[in-house]
A and B are shown apart, each in its own frame.
Chain A
Amino acid sequence: MNNYQPNERGYWGEFGGRFVPETLMFPLEELTEMYFSVRDDADFQAQFLQLLKDFSGRPTPLFHAQRLSEKLGGAQIYLKREDLGHTGSHKINNAIGQVLLARKMGKKRVIAETGAGQHGVATATVCALFGLECVVYMGTEDMRRQALNVFRMRLLGAEVRGVDSGSKTLKDAINEALRDWVTNVDSTYYLLGSALGPHPYPLMVRDFQSVIGREAREQIIEKTGSLPDCLVACVGGGSNAIGLFHPFLNDESVRMIGVEAGGKGNVLGEHAARFNEQGGGKIGVLQGTKSYLLQDTNGQIALTHSVSAGLDYASIGPEHSFLHSIKRAEYVSASDNEALDAFQILSQTEGIIPALESSHAIAYLQKLAPELSPAQTIICNLSGRGDKDVNQVQEMLLTK
């Protein structure tokens, strides 16, 4: 049995590590030490689980999407309803875990990056809960696409700082958050939102998100008497996917499929599919970690495109690169148009409006489910709800 833990330098195989300015090594070492001290601490874990339950409403349901299963004519589809958690996405799980750490470390100021705004909203929420100062960095292109979430963050008392460099999306927001952290290391806790960045973030975020897979594993066994055949989740940085996958990694019969953003084409700059080697995906180092990333032949990071702000990112969490390299998980992509279709299909067949990110996972079900038999089951992580995307989708459908 493999425990899928990184080594002490934060590597899964050749992926991960710490590639940061020296100034950040001290806070990263401090954070790692603190994280390992609470990881097996019963009081901390009890406090974490209590907040997940009372504040966020966990466990989230596992819902049998019967009409969608019938429509696709194959496997039985179960949706893990992370969209029903507080703030409307899985991001709250990690935000609760990390804010407890920030408090334990005595930090009064919290910073975060956000793409679609879901992590920013989750961070603003937990900071409001504990009375901490909160600054969220967000690309100005994403602020435009996700204006509702910008308002939600401000309403929750956070300061949202627009980032105007590069592609004005998630990658640029992370750069700016890192610059803030390096300047304010003593006072500030960096609450990173995906299974990305330097060690210990990919490990820590995965651990906090693994509640998704642990619940789903119990729930599916309770409902069907057996393990699922497949897991499907969208992958931007990869936190909702790794959270679902991780508790199943040693269940060898369970296939795992991560769905990247195929964007509008296969050429570098038109998509955010990091494992698309023809499309410019190659191992490299970005924002603290070694992983697959979209780049040009000179090692400059490429611009990316996705209809979904949360998947529009040039790199992917290192544990996913590892699972890809050992072929434990498969990675595919869904295009903008496929995701837009899926957005509407789920709304109309199940009465659930999914986030555009999650819509990529739903889109892949249309290919996968018909290949399986009605006796087989798929768990699809419905990582967030689509209210935030309704305006953007309306605009796109009108101009289509």
Chain B
Amino acid sequence: MNNRIIEKFSRLKSDGRGGFIPFIVAGDPDLQTTKSLIIELCKADATVIELGVPFSDPVADGVTIQTSAERALRKPIAVRDILEIVADVRVEGFETPIILFSYFNPILQFGLKEFAEKAKATGVDGCLITDLVPEEAEEFRAILAEKELCLIMLAAPTSSDERLQKICDKASGFVYAVSRAGVTGARTETSSDAKVLVSRIRKFTGLPIALGFGISNASQVEETWKFADAAVVGSAIVAEMIKSSPNPDSVEEDFVEKIGDFVKKLLP
């Protein structure tokens, strides 16, 4: 498969470096700012950028990302609008891999095939669907694969070996290991389950493994790199965004720069 995510991880591996995957919610505080933030994250040397599609009923998310999604949805946002933002970023010459992180319904309503076509055309590299387990994923996986787009699958500490096999069979790009049972949200320490899970996943796949849920500072990122290929930081960045723009309708000029500085400090 010819895909930016795969290229990027193989380069990281040959350089012997760990990966860094920041997450932001598209549309919070607004789509134009999202575009500037993506560019800032590209400049901060993100390995992959996870762009969250805001959803009205985010059952897998803790209060920080729920709040961010609510802020984003104060105006209607179509998946199409989010893809256009990615297209704008590509036009400006930034090639960092970008994946959409979504619940299934917004993508389903867009149309799975239409989504894949449009995603490919606008420069999205893959998709992670929080509520799409391997048993339900085959149709979408095949549609994405036809366009050389990755489907990133989630593995959890509660997943049995049998399930890890199914998950790895469907996954491409990388596997997202969920560090602990629970919803998204910043923690100051990484769960001991995480290391065990990553080594269990390695038995079933040669794909890179990113660890997420609860990683919120540089020392956790460094700790993660000892056993996983990349660290995902979501809620910590989103919380900083909410703190720095308490009123999403009037955002200060240096907002993007401030978030950029915050993100750079997450790197060891």
Chain A residues proximal to chain B, CB less than 8 Å: 9, 17-27, 29, 165-166, 171-172, 175, 178-179, 182-186, 282, 284-288, 295-301
Contact = CB atoms under 8 A, between A and B. Distances in A.
Nearest to B154: A22
Nearest to A177: B59
Interface centre among B66, B156, B158 (most CB of A within 10 A): B158
B183 A298 contact: no
Contacts of B108: 284-285, 299
A185 B158 contact: yes
Given A179-B59, A182-B182, A9 B158 contact: no
B79 interface: yes
Given A171-B57, A301-B56, 4 more contacts: A165-B66, A175-B57, A288-B131, A296-B76
Nearest to B157: A23
A285 B57 CA distance: 11
Contact of A299 (B110, B156, B159): B110
B105 A20 contact: no
Contacts of A23: 156-158, 178, 181-182
Nearest to B129: A19
B109 A185 contact: no
Contacts of A24: 158
B191 interface: no
A27 B181 CA distance: 12
19 contacts: A18-B136, A20-B133, A21-B60, A21-B131, A21-B156, A21-B178, A22-B158, A22-B167, A24-B158, A165-B70, A166-B57, A182-B183, A184-B181, A285-B104, A287-B57, A287-B59, A295-B105, A299-B108, A300-B55
B130 interface: yes
Interface of A is mostly: mixed
B59 A175 contact: yes
B140 to A, nearest CB: 12
A354 B41 CA distance: 58
B66 A182 contact: no
B73 interface: yes
Interface in B60-96: 60, 62, 66, 70, 73, 76-79
Contact of A298 (B59, B76, B158): B76
B170 to A, nearest CB: 11
Contact of A26 (B58, B109, B136, B160): B160
A18 B131 CA distance: 8
Nearest to A20: B131
Interface in B99-144: 103-110, 130-133, 135-136
- Chain B interface secondary structure, helix, strand, loop or mixed? loop
Contact of A18 (B60, B130, B133): B133
Given A171-B57, A179-B183, A296-B76, A21 B135 contact: no
B157 to A, nearest CB: 7
Q: What 4 pairs across the A-B complex have the smallest Cβ distances? A: A299-B109, A299-B106, A26-B158, A23-B156
Interface residues of B, number: 42
A285 B60 CA distance: 14
Contact of B104 (A19, A183, A297): A19
B178 A300 contact: no
A23 B131 CA distance: 10
Nearest to B78: A298
A36 to B, nearest CB: 17
Contacts of B62: 179
Contacts of B70: 165
B264 interface: no
Nearest to B67: A165
B163 interface: yes
Contacts of B73: 300
B59 A22 contact: no
Given A25-B163, A26-B159, A298-B76, A178 B104 contact: no
Contacts of A287: 57, 59
A18 B178 contact: no
Interface in B30-73: 55-60, 62, 66, 70, 73
B155 interface: yes
Interface in B152-174: 153-160, 163, 167
Contact of B59 (A17, A25, A178, A297): A178
A171 B108 CA distance: 20
Contacts of B104: 19, 285
A49 to B, nearest CB: 34
Contacts of B136: 17-19
B178 A22 contact: yes
Given A22-B155, A22-B167, A183 B183 contact: yes
B11 to A, nearest CB: 28
A9 B105 CA distance: 19
Given A183-B181, A285-B104, A298-B106, A27 B158 contact: yes
Contact of B77 (A21, A29, A185, A298): A298
A167 to B, nearest CB: 10
A12 to B, nearest CB: 15
